[in-house]
């Protein structure tokens, strides 16, 4: 299974193609749109989200609610394009508007300066437009298809916010995906500790007033992955490594860990390894410190991925930079920005984890039909239980 996205933040649309999903997968478009709406939500988002009402259009690979086995093509329109059509015109470059919208003051922490240097762009808008996390809308659409694919195979995935700046917003380590969903969907921050939501809002508001931004920690839990996906045989077959790659591939992610992650380094081995139990249903573990991975393979316990999101780089109280033409000191550009996008990021990360897990399932079982795949996985699960 492979996927690809195209499109700029203020261009007409975002396009995504996924190839390699089996035929006969039922797709609920409404459920994709629910995830798109969740990605737009969360306290601390900027004004762009008032303009956009993201919904997906399926433009290839699906008929009467089921995949055909051909590449699945999805589109999410940028409503804001209506205000930027001249600036983003693919053919003409002589409009006054486009000149006015040129970006010459690169923002520290964003892709502007290095992107300009690497590709030779003198208008840093040519970098901003694609480096913007607007692209994550289409990754969420693609990942939501994979989430439905996984659910139909008994695998559930959820993302939530653990920490905003230094503020812990989810103190309990839950592994039950349905319960996590109930808790996090009861508030607009996707956190487990409901009593911390007001404090989080106040922190975001204060930060916004100061012209500053916040990052934090997101956790993704996947329940129901059969043991043995991924492999120890070569470094690039390890599924935990592939997950880390996909998670790090999301804008603003600066760290990834599995299970107890860095915290495990402070404890002795006896308090980190998950003891092996054999029960009627088969092999399991007493705990899940290692986040569902041993030797780069799923071990049947819930998969736990943590991601560190840096604070948003565009500041309303801009940091120092230099003009790329005059080289004189100036303040960084600022048009419009989020104060924090952690809640949105939890949906994006949930989606990229779904993409990676779906890819692992397709690679392992390689079936062209959903019905056959379901049978293959059921047989595999039985074989594991008998081991």
Ligand X SMILES: C=C(O[C@@H]1CC(C(=O)O)=C[C@@H](OP(=O)(O)O)[C@H]1O)C(=O)O
Ligand Y SMILES: Cc1cc2nc3c(=O)[nH]c(=O)nc-3n(C[C@H](O)[C@H](O)[C@H](O)COP(=O)(O)O)c2cc1C
CA separation for the pair 38, 215 (Å, rounded):
18
Q: Which of 221, 386, 238 is nearest to 298 (CA)?
A: 238
Q: Report the C-alpha gap between 203 and 29 in whole angstroms.
A: 35
Beta strands in 181-311 (DSSP E): 216-223, 253-258, 276-279, 282-285, 293-294, 297-298, 303-309
For 286-348, strand residue ranges (E) read 293-294, 297-298, 303-309, 320-322, 329-331
Nearer to ligand Y among residue 207 and residue 299 (C-beta): 207
Q: From ligand X, ligand Y, none, which one binds at residue 348 (CB under 5 to 8 Å depending on kind)? A: ligand Y
141 binds ligand Y (CB under 6 A): no
C-alpha to C-alpha distance for 337 and 87, rounded to whole angstroms? 19
Stretch that binds ligand X, among 164-172, 301-309, 330-338, 358-366 (CB under 6 A): 330-338
Show the binding pattern over residues 43-72: x = contacts ligand X (CB under 6 A), - = does not.
---x-x---x--------------------
What are 26's strand-pairing partners? 66
Q: What tokens were used for 211?
A: 């012209």
Q: Please give the Cα distance from 307 to 49 (Å, whole number).
A: 24
Indicate whether 101 belongs to the interface with ligand X (CB under 6 A): no
Nearer to ligand X, 100 or 387 (CB): 100
For residue 50, give the H/E element and its range. Answer: helix 48-51
**Rounded CA gap, 66 and 370, in Å?**
10
Residue of 36, 75, 124, 133 that binds ligand X (CB under 6 A): 133
Decide: 14 and 135 in contact? Cβ < 8 Å: yes
* Shortest Å, Cβ 195 to ligand Y: 26
Residue 181, annotated ligand binder? no
225 binds, among ligand X, ligand Y, none (CB under 5 to 8 A by kind): none
Contact 289, 272 (CB under 8 A): yes
Nearer to ligand X, 14 or 191 (CB): 14
Q: Binding to ligand Y by residue 138, rule CB under 6 A? A: no
Helix 342-365 / helix 239-248 crossing angle, nearest 10 deg = 140
Residue selected from 163, 203, 314, 367 as contacting ligand Y according to rule CB under 6 A: 314
79 is in an annotated binding site: no
Sign of CA dihedral 161, 164, 165, 169: negative
Residue 312 marked in a binding site: yes
| Closer CB to ligand Y, 116 or 292, in the complex | 116
Q: How far apart are CA 295 and CA 159, in angstroms?
A: 24
For ligand X, the binding residues in 215-254 under the rule CB under 6 A are: 251
Using CB under 6 A, pick the residue from 58, 103, 111, 297 that binds ligand Y: 111
Using CA atoms, how far apart are residues 209 and 61, in angstroms rounded to an integer?
47
Contact flag: residue 132 with ligand X (CB under 6 A): yes
Binding mask 237-266 for ligand Y (x = CB under 6 A): -------------xxx--------------
User: Where in 224-270 does DSSP place strands (E)?
Assistant: 253-258
Asked if residue 132 belongs to a known ligand binding site, the reply is yes
Q: Annotation-wise, does 313 bind a ligand?
A: yes
Q: Which option in ligand Y, ligand X, none does residue 111 bind, with CB closer than 5 to 8 A by kind?
A: ligand Y
Of ligand X, ligand Y, none, which one sits near residue 9, judging by CB under 5 to 8 A according to partner kind? ligand X
Residues that bind ligand X in the complex, under the rule CB under 6 A: 9, 46, 48, 52, 132-134, 137, 251, 335-338
Binding region for NADP(+)? 39, 45
Binding region? 39, 45, 130-132, 251-252, 295, 310-314, 336
Binding region for FMN? 130-132, 251-252, 295, 310-314, 336
Residues that bind ligand Y in the complex, under the rule CB under 6 A: 46, 110-111, 131-133, 136, 250-252, 310, 312-314, 337-338, 341, 344-345, 348
């Amino acid at each position: 299974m492979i996927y690809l996205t195209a499109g700029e933040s203020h261009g007409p649309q975002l396009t995504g193609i996924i190839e390699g999903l089996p035929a006969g997968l039922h797709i609920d478009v409404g459920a994709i749109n629910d995830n798109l709406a969740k990605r737009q939500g969360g306290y601390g988002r900027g004004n762009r989200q008032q303009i956009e009402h993201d919904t997906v259009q399926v433009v290839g690979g699906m008929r009467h609610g089921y995949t055909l086995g051909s590449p699945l093509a999805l589109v999410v329109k940028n409503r804001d394009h209506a205000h930027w059509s001249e600036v983003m015109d693919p053919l003409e470059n002589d409009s006054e508007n486009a000149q006015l919208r040129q970006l010459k003051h690169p923002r520290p922490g964003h892709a502007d300066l290095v992107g300009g240097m690497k590709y030779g762009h003198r208008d840093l808008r040519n970098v901003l437009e694609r480096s913007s996390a607007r692209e994550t809308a289409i990754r969420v659409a693609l990942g939501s298809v994979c989430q439905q694919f996984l659910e139909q195979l008994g695998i559930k995935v959820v993302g939530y916010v653990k920490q905003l700046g230094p503020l812990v917003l989810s103190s309990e380590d839950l592994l039950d995906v349905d319960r996590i969903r109930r808790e996090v969907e009861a508030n607009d921050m996707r956190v487990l500790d409901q009593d911390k939501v007001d404090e989080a809002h106040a922190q975001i508001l204060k930060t916004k007033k100061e012209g500053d931004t916040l990052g934090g920690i997101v956790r993704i839990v996947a329940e129901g992955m059969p043991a043995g996906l991924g492999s120890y045989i070569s470094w690039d077959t390890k599924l935990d490594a592939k997950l880390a790659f996909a998670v790090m591939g999301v804008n603003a992610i600066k760290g990834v860990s599995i299970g107890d992650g860095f915290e495990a380094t402070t404890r002795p081995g006896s308090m980190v390894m998950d003891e092996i139990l054999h029960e009627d249903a088969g092999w399991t573990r007493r705990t899940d410190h290692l986040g569902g991975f041993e030797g780069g393979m799923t071990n049947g316990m819930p998969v736990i991925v943590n991601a560190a999101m840096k604070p948003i780089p565009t500041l309303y109280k801009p940091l120092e930079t230099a003009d790329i033409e005059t080289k004189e000191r100036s303040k960084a550009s600022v048009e419009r920005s989020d104060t924090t996008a952690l809640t949105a990021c939890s949906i994006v990360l949930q989606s990229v984890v779904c993409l990676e897990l779906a890819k692992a399932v397709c690679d392992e079982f390689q079936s062209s039909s959903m019905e056959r795949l379901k049978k293959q996985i059921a047989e595999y699960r039985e074989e594991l239980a008998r081991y």
